[in-house]
Amino acid sequence: MSERYEEAAKVFQTLNNDYINSPYHFKSRLKVGECYAGMGEFEKARKTLYTVVAQEGKCSSNDDKLVVVDAYFKIADYYMKEAQRLRKATAVGTSSSVRSLASR
């Protein structure tokens, strides 16, 4: 499954880079972040979504504004998922599993 997310992230990244003026620019960036989250790379996902949020002032349509709102919610969701992973790791009590999860 991770391979599919990786493949999708590359496609959306290509769309994002090659078609900067596309009406789907914000959405493709959001999808890259979702793919990273699907691979369990929540830090990369959040960083990608923060780039969407940073472009909020450049939104030219209501659809773009909704994508930015969606990015805010996904950022919060990914922080929660990472916190749940860390909580589970500390419940197990092994420091190596905590370090492993914290490094993701």
> CB neighbours of 65 closer than 8 A, spacing ≥ 6?
56, 59
| Residue 66, helix vs strand vs coil | helix
The structure's pTM equals 0.79
CATH topology of domain 2-75: 1.25.40
Q: Give the residue from 71, 82, 14 showing the smallest Cα distance to 42.
A: 82
Q: Given this model, what pLDDT does residue 20 score?
A: 86
Q: Is the pLDDT of residue 92 over 90?
A: no
Higher pLDDT, 1 or 44: 44
- Beta-carbon count within 10 A of 46 CB: 21
Higher pLDDT, 59 or 93: 59
Are 12 and 34 within 8 A, CB to CB? no
Query: For the chain, what are the domain ranges?
Result: 2-75
Average pLDDT of the segment spanning 67-88 = 93
Cα angle 77, 78, 81; round to 5: 90
Average pLDDT of the segment spanning 39-43 = 92
Q: Is the pLDDT of residue 95 over 80?
A: no
- The interaxial angle of helices 25-38 and 62-92, nearest 10 deg, is 10
pLDDT tens for each residue of 5-31:
999 999 999 999 999 888 888 899 999
